[in-house]
Amino acid sequence: MTFPTPLLDEKLAQQRQKSEHDRQQLLQMALIWLQHHAIDFGIEQGYLFGSITQTGRFSRQSDLDLAVESLQHGDPFGLGSYLSLHVDREVDVVPLDQCHFAAKIRQTGIVWNGIKSSD
Protein backbone atom coordinates (compact mmCIF):
# COMPACT_ATOMS: atom_id res chain seq x y z
CA MET A 1 0.00 0.00 0.00
CA THR A 2 1.37 3.40 -0.93
CA PHE A 3 0.43 6.75 0.47
CA PRO A 4 0.42 10.05 -1.40
CA THR A 5 3.26 12.31 -0.27
CA PRO A 6 2.94 15.51 -2.31
CA LEU A 7 4.64 17.75 0.28
CA LEU A 8 7.57 15.39 0.68
CA ASP A 9 7.82 14.92 -3.09
CA GLU A 10 7.87 18.70 -3.58
CA LYS A 11 10.56 19.19 -0.92
CA LEU A 12 12.73 16.45 -2.43
CA ALA A 13 12.33 17.98 -5.89
CA GLN A 14 13.42 21.36 -4.52
CA GLN A 15 16.47 19.78 -2.89
CA ARG A 16 17.43 18.05 -6.15
CA GLN A 17 17.04 21.33 -8.03
CA LYS A 18 19.21 23.19 -5.49
CA SER A 19 21.87 20.46 -5.59
CA GLU A 20 21.99 20.68 -9.38
CA HIS A 21 22.27 24.47 -9.24
CA ASP A 22 25.07 24.19 -6.66
CA ARG A 23 26.85 21.56 -8.78
CA GLN A 24 26.81 23.73 -11.88
CA GLN A 25 27.94 26.80 -9.94
CA LEU A 26 30.80 24.93 -8.24
CA LEU A 27 31.87 23.40 -11.54
CA GLN A 28 32.12 26.81 -13.20
CA MET A 29 33.94 28.34 -10.22
CA ALA A 30 36.46 25.50 -10.15
CA LEU A 31 37.11 25.54 -13.91
CA ILE A 32 37.66 29.30 -13.97
CA TRP A 33 39.96 29.18 -10.96
CA LEU A 34 41.95 26.27 -12.39
CA GLN A 35 42.32 27.94 -15.79
CA HIS A 36 43.85 30.99 -14.17
CA HIS A 37 45.83 29.57 -11.24
CA ALA A 38 46.79 25.93 -11.83
CA ILE A 39 49.82 26.84 -13.89
CA ASP A 40 51.14 28.81 -10.89
CA PHE A 41 51.45 25.40 -9.20
CA GLY A 42 53.16 23.79 -12.20
CA ILE A 43 50.02 22.02 -13.42
CA GLU A 44 49.01 22.69 -17.00
CA GLN A 45 46.22 20.16 -17.49
CA GLY A 46 43.90 17.93 -15.55
CA TYR A 47 40.34 16.73 -15.13
CA LEU A 48 37.43 17.28 -12.81
CA PHE A 49 35.63 13.99 -12.28
CA GLY A 50 33.19 12.23 -10.00
CA SER A 51 29.89 13.61 -8.74
CA ILE A 52 30.68 17.17 -9.87
CA THR A 53 30.36 15.95 -13.47
CA GLN A 54 27.15 13.97 -13.02
CA THR A 55 23.63 15.30 -12.73
CA GLY A 56 21.80 13.78 -9.77
CA ARG A 57 24.86 12.51 -7.90
CA PHE A 58 26.08 15.75 -6.32
CA SER A 59 25.08 16.68 -2.76
CA ARG A 60 26.03 19.09 0.03
CA GLN A 61 28.55 16.52 1.26
CA SER A 62 30.21 15.97 -2.13
CA ASP A 63 33.84 16.86 -2.49
CA LEU A 64 35.58 18.09 -5.62
CA ASP A 65 37.64 15.41 -7.38
CA LEU A 66 40.61 16.74 -9.32
CA ALA A 67 43.01 14.64 -11.39
CA VAL A 68 46.34 16.05 -12.56
CA GLU A 69 48.58 14.65 -15.26
CA SER A 70 51.76 14.25 -13.23
CA LEU A 71 53.40 14.76 -9.87
CA GLN A 72 56.83 15.18 -11.45
CA HIS A 73 56.71 18.99 -11.48
CA GLY A 74 54.87 21.57 -9.45
CA ASP A 75 52.69 21.24 -6.41
CA PRO A 76 49.28 19.68 -7.13
CA PHE A 77 48.53 19.30 -3.41
CA GLY A 78 49.12 23.01 -2.85
CA LEU A 79 46.82 23.59 -5.79
CA GLY A 80 44.18 21.40 -4.13
CA SER A 81 44.48 23.31 -0.86
CA TYR A 82 44.11 26.73 -2.46
CA LEU A 83 41.24 25.53 -4.66
CA SER A 84 39.54 24.11 -1.56
CA LEU A 85 39.76 27.51 0.12
CA HIS A 86 38.36 29.19 -3.01
CA VAL A 87 35.35 26.89 -3.41
CA ASP A 88 34.85 26.19 0.31
CA ARG A 89 34.72 22.46 -0.25
CA GLU A 90 37.10 19.55 0.25
CA VAL A 91 39.24 18.81 -2.82
CA ASP A 92 40.77 15.40 -3.53
CA VAL A 93 43.80 15.45 -5.83
CA VAL A 94 44.57 12.31 -7.86
CA PRO A 95 47.88 12.06 -9.77
CA LEU A 96 46.98 10.30 -13.03
CA ASP A 97 50.45 8.81 -13.47
CA GLN A 98 49.82 6.82 -10.25
CA CYS A 99 46.14 6.00 -10.76
CA HIS A 100 44.84 2.61 -11.92
CA PHE A 101 41.64 4.19 -13.34
CA ALA A 102 43.34 7.09 -15.15
CA ALA A 103 41.95 6.03 -18.54
CA LYS A 104 38.39 6.25 -17.21
CA ILE A 105 39.03 9.70 -15.73
CA ARG A 106 40.49 10.91 -19.02
CA GLN A 107 37.49 9.49 -20.89
CA THR A 108 34.69 10.75 -18.62
CA GLY A 109 36.18 13.73 -16.76
CA ILE A 110 35.91 17.40 -17.67
CA VAL A 111 39.29 18.52 -18.98
CA TRP A 112 40.80 21.87 -18.09
CA ASN A 113 43.95 23.58 -19.31
CA GLY A 114 45.78 26.22 -17.32
CA ILE A 115 46.53 29.61 -18.75
CA LYS A 116 48.77 32.16 -17.15
CA SER A 117 46.61 34.84 -15.58
CA SER A 118 47.47 38.43 -16.45
CA ASP A 119 47.18 39.83 -12.91
What CATH number did the domain enclosing 72 receive?
A: 3.30.460.10
Rounded to 5°, angle at Cα 37 from 36 and 39: 100
- CA 110 vs. chain centroid, Å, equals 9
The whole-number pLDDT of residue 1 equals 75
User: Which ranges of the chain have pLDDT less than 50?
Assistant: 119
Report the number of distinct structural domains present in the chain. 1
The whole-number pLDDT of residue 93 equals 93
Q: What 3 state SS string does the chain have?
A: CCCCCHHHHHHHHHHHHHHHHHHHHHHHHHHHHHHHHHHHHCCCEEEEEHHHHCCCCCCCCCCEEEEECCCCCCCHHHHHHHHHHHHCCCEEEEEHHHCCCHHHHHHHCEEEECCCCCC
Q: Which domain holds residue 88?
A: 6-113
In a domain, 1, yes or no: no
